[in-house]
Structure 1
Amino acid sequence: MVKHHALLAGVMLPALAAATAMPAHAARIADPAQADVAAQTDESAAAPADDIVVTAVARGQNRLDATVATSALSGAALIDLAPRSAAEAFRQIPGIRAEASGGEGNANIAVRGLPVASGGAKFLQLQEDGLPVLEFGDITFGNADIFVRTDFNIARIEAVRGGSASTFASNSPGGVINFISKTGEQEGGAIQTTLGLDYEEYRVDFDYGAPIGKDWSFHVGGFYRQGEGPRRLGYDGLKGGQIKLNLTRKFEGGYIRFFGKYLDDRAVGYLPNPVRVTGTDADPTYTSLPGFSINGDSLHSRGFLQALSLNGQNVAQRFDVTDGMRPLVKAFGFETSIDVDDDWTLVNRFRFSDVSGGFTSPFPASVGTAGAIATELGGAGATARFATGPNAGQAVPAGTLVARVVLFNTRLNSLDNITNDLRLTRDLTIGGGEGAVTFGFYKSRQDIATDWLWTSHLLEVRGGGNAGLIDIRTTGGAAVTDGGTVAYGASFFGGCCRRVYDLSYDTNAPFASLNMRFGKLSVDGALRYDFGRARGTTFGADLGGGRVGTRPVDVDGNGTISTAEQLTSVVPLGSPAPVDYNYDYLSYSLGLNYRLADTLALFASYARGGRANADRLLFNDNNVSTTTGALRNPALAVDFVRQLEGGVKYRDGGTQLYATLFHARTEEQNFEATTQRLFDRSYRAWGLELEGSIRRGGFTLSAGATYTDAEITRDAVNPAVAGNRPRRQADFIYQATAQYETDRFALGANMVGTTDSYAQDDNRLKLPGFTQVNAFARFTPVPRVTLSVNANNLFDVNGFTEAEEASIPADGIVRARSINGRTVSAAVRFDF
């Protein structure tokens, strides 16, 4: 700890001494809410509201002066586009690859060429009002996007890619996406009722904010919705909502804002489903199976609503499958900005989030016919009968497709997060240039306390929410399964993964930055030193050392041990494995921006940032000792990303154009729960990112495209894939929105697309490219009343974001995840 303090002093004290000796004149924007009404620079081309960047920078600044690539998506655009999840909103941001096929959460998200080796958003941080939703974006079954919602509270979503994202946030070397809330600076609100026209969802959104007297303002908003959702499940897969509020007090020289959030929701999590694939790996054709639509159905069913298993204390418990992704978040905090004197400004953000819930969803380990599976499990002459569903008790035809399902039943006991970000900024003048120096200290503590309670089942492949669980009996009539349960453990995954995590991760990071402007030239540089520790215990047979994971248990308590109960996974609670190690790393960024004219700028930046590996590093004795908890190799603790980018920015009236060339090198150690595969790799990516918009009268066109050439340059586990393109990485991703608007009505269309990619890293089976088209229309018959219709995936295309198989199997059935099919909603909104 002494060396940490010494380094902090060594970095900060010389700069502090220099800064205090200099006068200051630079303008200040500390409050993100004020970015909508002011620009930091005084150029003649006034900046639109969404061109003031406040994310991952020392201070709000004009987008034309930023030395990194930035984008913003307004709250009004979100209302028109009506994304069905946060990931669908992210697809509108250039450079962001969001695989929006998991439902309300559980999306894989990456930034221009950085890999998604397992799941979640490893190198990207999701924030709400400048603080992380979770410290790590890829906690297994606890991805950060599960715990955020898009609603009327959002003023805009900002995205920063590369550059200062490495040095103004921990564990985010790829970039930061920040949900910025309304704060009631202007009085007004709305209430909207939305109805699914061709799917079942009923939703109410509301918000209201206003100044209170001279110095106070507030904002409150939220939503509640219920319904089956965009796929046919046979039950309400969506049920819940959230409420957020904030209260701001302004005073001379600053402000203080208090905020709170309560999210209590249930949202189905869509995992890969069976689909038929014909043709060749290089030119495949994906078609839905008879009676099962790949973009409109799911293996969720009214015939599979509950599951019996042992809990994390090895006590039998019945779990509700309909909970799906169940985020429960109770958060509160404050943000303050104080002008300490004429030169110094102190900004502090604090939040505590009580986060818990669960993740429950069926994953098809494989698919076969009922006859073959009956023989496999029960021997020759074994029979299959429906245990649940509309055909309960009837024999299952031998050719019926059946999924061997592992139910991912994970309890999120605690993902609590406490974060504080303190910054002290001084305006200064150096050699005729104006700027600011910032010193800060970041502190967070992230809990990861989860129980993995997986079980194995046989489930009919049938759509409409009508699939039934299937029982197998031997030729002599002996039961092989219990009401469709094959094992009270993950027998289809070799009995693995009955786990308990009880961990905490402390992250500390002093940081410093210098931002200067010398006429047309802007220069900024920053350092960040992260040091942290991982402490806790893990339990599981996967840890080895004689830990027993499967034994006979009378799970249902009927006094006998069935065949399925012979295969009961237990947690070896008497044999914990410690987790006890420290880590540290240095991140840095340097950026330049040159204003060729009021409307035109060139920029370049280079950054090295790190991402501390969290829970995915564990349950591997080659990584972490199961006896001491120490790292086998300290280098395993952190993966580094190095990014170089440069480009041009142009904005003149209603025309904007941004072009960025980028190059990135990435290290990756990871573990994937579904395939039980370890990753130890390096990657290289380069490409071009384009973003632009044009406004002429009532017509607006905005578009973006990213070309990426990515390669696996090294693989310590599977050297054969070196030189291949990373899985699911397309050459092009793109988006565009065209809209025509008058005072009374608006019409618009949006498209999001991708070219082909490979399902796996061996580069055999392709995932076809696709273009999804969305459309919207709104009409205001009288002031303050708006009627609207929104169509998501208007042409009902299949868009595959991932597949488990590396090649077309002999039976032609691949397990893949597609975007949702067409959903059309209508809404009535009243503004006040």
Structure 2
Amino acid sequence: MRVTLRHSLLATVALAALPAAVQAQTTSAAPAPVDSAAPAADQLPAPDTSGDEIVVVGSANPAGQRRREAGYAVTTLSNEAIMAAAPISAADVLKLVPGIHAETTSGVSGPNIQVRGFPTSGDSKFVTMQIDSLPIFPVSSLAFLDNSTQIRLDETIKRVEATIGGQAVLFGNGQPGATVNFVQKNGKTDPGGLAEFTYGTGSQYRFDGYYGADLGNGWYGSVGGFYRTQKGVRNTQFPSDQGYQIVGTIHHEFEDGSFTLYGRQTHDQNAFFTAVPLIRTGPDNDIKLRPFPGFNPTRDTFLGNANRIVTFNIASNGTNTPVSKTVDLAKGRGIDHHLVGFDFDKTFGDISFSNKLSYAAGTTPTIAQFTGATPVTLGSFITSQVTAANANATATAAAGRPATGGTATLISNGQALTDLNQFVQGIGITYVLKKIKSFQDEARLSAEIFEGNTLTGGVYFADYDSDDTWFTGHNQLMTVQNNALPINIVLNNGVKVTNGSGVYTPTALALHNVYHGRNEAVFLTDSWRITPKLKVDAGVRYEWEQVDATFQNSARANISTDPLALYDYGASVLLPSTRPVEYSGSHAAFNVDANYEVFHNVNAFVGYNKGYSLPTFDDLRTNVRTTSKVDQVQGGIKTFSRLFALDLTGFYNTFRGQPASQLLADGTIVNYLTSSDTYGVELNGEVRYNGFALAGQGTYQHGKYVAGGPGITGNQVIRNPDFQARVTPSYTFDTPVGGLMFYATGSYISDRFSDLQNLQPLPKYYTLDVGASLIMHNGLEIRFTGTNVTNTLGITEGNSRVVGSGVAAGGVFLGRPLFGPNYQVSLKMKF
């Protein structure tokens, strides 16, 4: 890791920003006592909205502040609320956060996460996930890799905090969108242990454990994690999700300070689910979805034992010599990743110091199916291949004559397929391997310069790498059915349309890029309690970015040694030569907000920030060097009492210069540059009375593109629903053995569009989840959850591999549907 002169000066700049002589005593960062009348929201299957809990996300003070006193909207989720919602992944937790729409229909990994008004075509660029207030990886989202893929939920997580914009634009990686902080348990704050066993739909078997203890002499330790295996709601015939996570912490308290050392090891394999064929009827504003014949969209999957192992040819470096590559789709979009972090806090007289650092490294494969073309009849497919073969002079010459037809057989057993009206589908097989590592450090110094006014200066440094290898394309011909069967096609002149795995197209995009990035930032904030009721926060950040990359050149070539092998013509191949790519840039962010206690239990807040997003590795890969700029205004009220709690937030943002890219089925990359304006309101609240509670979250927004070119300007912002809501009634009562709670959650997602051109509408849908828990006096807890129990057919994505509507004759198109009913029963023992 190289350290520049600028980096060595950052700490000096931060120190110089603080007064040299501070006479007043530093304000204590200890949490204020919780109002005994505040509602015990963490006993409900909903976000904690009491307002008195201490939150650290977006806070200049590393020890945090009361949520109701923050000048920005914050959602907090207790461990109980998370478990009651039965999320399938870290990204799925965000369904509980107003203003965020998480698409998790791909499975545990590979989500698309949309933040209100932020125009992103996929992935999760504007969502940073943190562990104990430091980003998991400095870049929130790379192609085929977002922050949520690098963490798994388990009982080592104490709570989750989330905010959009606000002061979070100043700290860490300066995220202008959503910052989500996963707060870990440790032996001091969370002593004791638990063991939990879970059984669920799709042969799910899971064990979770945690134990924290006082080790004596100011030392505390904890260890926890999980192991699970399951075939999943969509039965892949092999374990779709299988892996483990181990987490450990060591915490030590000493005079005027403390430190925490933690480590996380995650090894998980997760099947990735692609869009499937569906039939749509009705106009765009009232679309009805129907299953494609022979395929259950909420239960079925193309994945299966017959197509799990796939072989295709790639080119030897710089030659036309084919090299056979075999991949295992069971690895999916998994991760093998380790992370070590160290938090240090110390008070030096009138100055408090905090430092957080982490080192992470691992591999993140994507070995997955991606659909692009809609189903066709076997007869029409053979006809198209006859035309393609006869247009290939080399293949026709080798065959000695043109083809007039062909035969199809199942690869699994050699059975001939004679029904030419049978539907078949070409599904691309993508292989991506990312080797990543990162080092991050954030230091803060704080001092009270006069009574009620605290100045904080800090630095952030990140050094990170990604070594990417891609081979996309390799369309595999299959039957359209659950656990699809690969098909072999041979034309009647001897031309081989498919290889031994049913693959009929070559590598569409071969890529090998090595990236190194470095980001350095300084920030200065001031928190001023002007009166006992009025608090104002303001801050500025300036960041420098340097990226050095090496791109391996590529070309098109016919790589087969067999001229009859049609599937190897025109492959994308890597060449021995490389080219350097460099980028350097910088930008500033600013935030100011105020919070005023209107009444004892009512706070009002308002804030404005200017944020940005510097180009990432993937932007440079597509030759985009634009810095996205975001202006956000938000304001609202936070109120609570023994019977109710409510957060109501209005927002407006302008987004300028957001690059987006689309990878088409043939390997072509289409680039866009858009701008948008969005306004709206979000709500988060609950009411309680005599064991009954009603919790709800909702977001209304109106976002439009104001730039992007013909066919885009004036359209609704991609993927973002104008309205989404989630309502959870629950009832808790005492029984002779303990407290019993029943709850249900109804969710609604309004119409959206899957593409920037608004040609792929996604219809609205409703879902219903149910649950019950029994917490016994002896420490045992039994929980039952069921998600999408009504088997709703809703989709979160259209055909991302085409430009246009993607609708074929008869209303056939591709969409990625919700999972069908998923039930889980768990038994937890605390000790």
Give the structure-2-normalised TM-score: 0.90
In 2, Cα distance between equivalents of 1:327 and 1:148:
9
Matching residue within 748, 770, 778 for 1:783:
778
User: CA 1:10–1:249 in structure 2 vs 1: closer, same or farther (change >3 Å)?
Assistant: closer
Instruction: State the partner residue of 2:111.
Output: 107
Q: Deviations over 1:59-115 (max 9, x none)?
A: 211111100110011111122222112222111111111112111021111222212
Higher deviation after alignment, 683-692 or 120-129: 120-129
Q: Deviations over 1:415-439 (max 9, x none)?
A: 212111111111332xxx5031111
Alignment size in residue pairs: 783
Write the letter of the residue equivalent to 1:703: G
Which residue number in structure 2 is paired with residue 183 of structure 1?
186
Structure-2 residue corresponding to 1:202:
205
Partner of 1:75: 79
d(CA) in 2 for partners of 1:9 and 1:178?
A: 25
The one of 304, 307, 327 equivalent to 1:319 is 327
Q: Give the Cα–Cα distance (whole angstroms) in 2 for the partners of residues 560 and 767 of structure 1.
A: 44
* Inter-partner Cα distance in structure 2 for 1:392 and 1:92: 50
Compute the displacement of 1:8 (Å).
5.9
User: Is the contact made by 1:162 and 1:643 (CA closer than 8 Å) also made in structure 2?
Assistant: yes
Contact 1:41 / 1:61 at 8 angstroms: preserved in 2?
no
Distance 2:628 2:544 in 1: 14
Q: Is 2:310–2:501's contact at 8 Å kept on the other side of the alignment?
A: no
Secondary structure of the 2:81 match is helix
Match of 2:386 in 1: 378
> Alignment partner of 2:93: what SS?
helix
Note closer, same or farther for the CA distance 1:396–1:154 as it changes in structure 2 (3 Å cut).
farther
Q: 1:381 to 1:192 in 2, by over 3 A?
A: farther
Opposite residue 773 of structure 1, the aligned amino acid is L
Gaps of 5+ in 2: 40-48, 318-322, 388-402
Structure 1 contact 242–261 (Cα < 8 Å) conserved: yes
Matched residue, 2:684? 691
Q: Which residue of 1 aligns with 2:352?
A: 345
| Paired amino acid for 2:659 | Q
How many angstroms does 1:781 deviate by?
5.5
Deviations 1:234-286 (A, max 9, x none): 22111111111111001121111110000000001112111111223332211
The answer on 1:419 being equivalent to 2:431 is no
Seen in structure 2, the aligned counterparts of structure 1 residues 499 and 807 have a Cα distance that, compared at 3 Å, is closer
- Over residues 348-380 of structure 1, what are the superposed CA-to-partner deviations in whole Å (9 max), with x where a residue is unaligned? 111111121300111112022211111111346
Deviation string, structure 1 residues 323-350 (Cα, Å, up to 9, x no partner): 1012011111211111122x21111111
1:646 aligns with 2:646: no
- 1:801 deviation in Å? 0.9
- How big is the shift at 1:619? 3.9
Instruction: Give a deviation string over 1:122-161, Cα, whole Å, max 9, x none.
Output: 1221111111112222200112211111111110110011
1:293–1:44 Cα change, 3 Å: closer
CA distance, structure 1, for counterparts of residue 729 and residue 362 of structure 2? 39
Measure the CA separation in 2 of the matches of 1:436 and 1:282. 53
Take 1:6 and 1:637, find their aligned partners in 2: how far apart are those partners? 28
- Distance change >3 Å, CA 588–CA 125, structure 1 → 2: same
Partner of 2:620: 618
Match of 1:32 in 2: none
- What secondary structure is seen at the aligned counterpart in 2 of 1:727? coil
Aligned-partner SS, 1:302: coil
SS in 1 for 2:584: strand
1:527-606 equivalent positions in 2, closer than 5 A: 527-541=540-554, 548-554=555-561, 562-572=565-575, 574-606=576-608
Return the alpha-carbon distance in structure 2 between the equivalents of residues 440 and 818 of structure 1.
Answer: 45
Deviations 1:687-707 (A, max 9, x none): 001111223242222111110
Aligned match for 1:772, one of 750, 767, 770: 767
Q: Secondary structure at the match of 2:18?
A: helix
Q: Secondary structure at the match of 1:325?
A: coil
Residues 190, 388 of structure 1: alpha-carbon distance in 2 compared, 3 angstrom cutoff = farther
1:35 maps to what in 2?
Answer: none
Which range moved further: 679-688 or 393-402? 393-402
Whole-Å Cα distance in 1 between the matches of residues 830 and 12 of structure 2?
55
Give distance in 1, aligned partners of 2:494 and 2:419. 18
Residues 637/104 of structure 1: CA separation in 2 closer, same or farther (3 Å cut): same
Counterpart Cα distance in 2 of 1:255 and 1:49: 27
- Selected match of 1:452 from 470, 488, 494: 470
Q: 1:45 to 1:230 in 2, by over 3 A?
A: closer
Distance 2:775 2:357 in 1: 41
Note closer, same or farther for the CA distance 1:20–1:311 as it changes in structure 2 (3 Å cut): farther
**Distance (Å, rounded) in 2 between the aligned partners of 1:593 and 1:402:** 60
In structure 1, what is the Cα distance between the partners aligned to 2:544 and 2:619? 17
* Cross-structure match for 1:524: 537
- Partner of residue 627, structure 1: none
Question: Quick check: 1:824 aligned with 2:823?
Answer: yes
Other structure's SS at 1:576 match:
strand
Superposed counterparts of 1:805-820, under 5 Å: 806=805, 808-820=807-819
**RMSD of aligned Cα (Å):** 2.5
- 1:477, distance to aligned residue in structure 2 (A): 4.2
**Cα distance, 1:3 vs. partner?**
10
- Counterpart-to-counterpart distance in 1, 2:34 and 2:21: 23
Quick one: distance in 2 between partners of 1:108 and 1:459?
Answer: 27
What is the SS of the residue equivalent to 1:575? Answer: strand
Q: Is the 8 A contact 2:14 2:459 kept in 1?
A: no
> Does the 8 Å contact 1:538/1:576 carry over to 2?
yes
* 2:680 equivalent to 1:672: no
Q: Cα deviations across residues 498-551 of structure 1 (Å, max 9, x unaligned)? A: 11110011111111111111221101111111101010211243xxxxxx2333
Matched, 1:720 2:727: no
**Cα shift at 1:733:** 1.1
Map of 1:737 onto structure 2: 728
Tell me which amino acid in the other structure corresponds to 1:790: T
- The runs of 5 or more residues in structure 1 that have no matched partner are 30-37, 542-547, 624-635
- For residues 681 and 157 of structure 1, the distance between their equivalents in structure 2, rounded to whole angstroms, comes to 32
Q: Structure 2 CA distance, aligned partners of 1:135 and 1:561?
A: 48
CA distance 1:395–1:830, change in 2 (3 Å): same
**Alpha-carbon distance in 2 for matches of 1:780, 1:44:** 23
Partner Cα distance (1:386, 1:202) in 2? 37
Name the amino acid aligned to 2:680. Answer: G
Say whether 1:400 aligns with 2:417.
Answer: no
Report the more deviating stretch, 320-329 or 645-654: 645-654
Residue 773 of structure 1 deviates from its aligned partner by 1.4
How far, CA to CA, are the matches of 1:116 and 1:321 in structure 2?
A: 27
Cα separation, 1, equivalents of 2:481 and 2:53:
46
SS at match of 1:795: coil
Distance, in Å, in 2 between the alignment partners of 1:460 and 1:2 is: 54
Deviations 1:611-665 (A, max 9, x none): 12212213445x4xxxxxxxxxxxx342111111111111223421111110111
Cα distance in 2 between the residues matched to 1:364 and 1:354: 31
Indicate which of 495, 500, 515 corresponds to 1:503.
515
Q: Which residue in 1 is equivalent to 2:399?
A: none
| Alpha-carbon distance, 1:778 to partner | 1.9
Q: Is the 8 A contact 2:433 2:469 kept in 1?
A: yes
Q: Does 1:26 align with 2:31?
A: no
Task: Tell me the TM-score normalised to structure 1 length.
Answer: 0.90
Aligned pairs for 1:138-537 (under 5 A) are 138-184=141-187, 185-196=189-200, 198-309=201-312, 314=317, 315-341=323-349, 343-367=350-374, 368-379=376-387, 381-389=404-412, 392-395=414-417, 397-412=419-434, 414-429=435-450, 433-465=451-483, 467-487=484-504, 489-490=506-507, 495=508, 497-519=509-531, 520-537=533-550
Which SS does the other structure have where 2:167 is aligned?
helix
Residue 760 of structure 1 corresponds to 755
Query: Following the alignment from structure 2 to structure 1, what is the Cα–Cα distance between the partners of residues 786 and 351?
Result: 50
- Aligned-partner Cα distance in 1 for 2:90–2:52: 19
CA contact 2:171–2:460 (8 Å) conserved in 1: no
The aligned residue for residue 633 of structure 1 is none
* Structure 1 position 136 matched with structure 2 position 147: no
Aligned to 1:682: 675
Q: What amino acid is aligned across from residue 500 of structure 1 in structure 2?
A: H
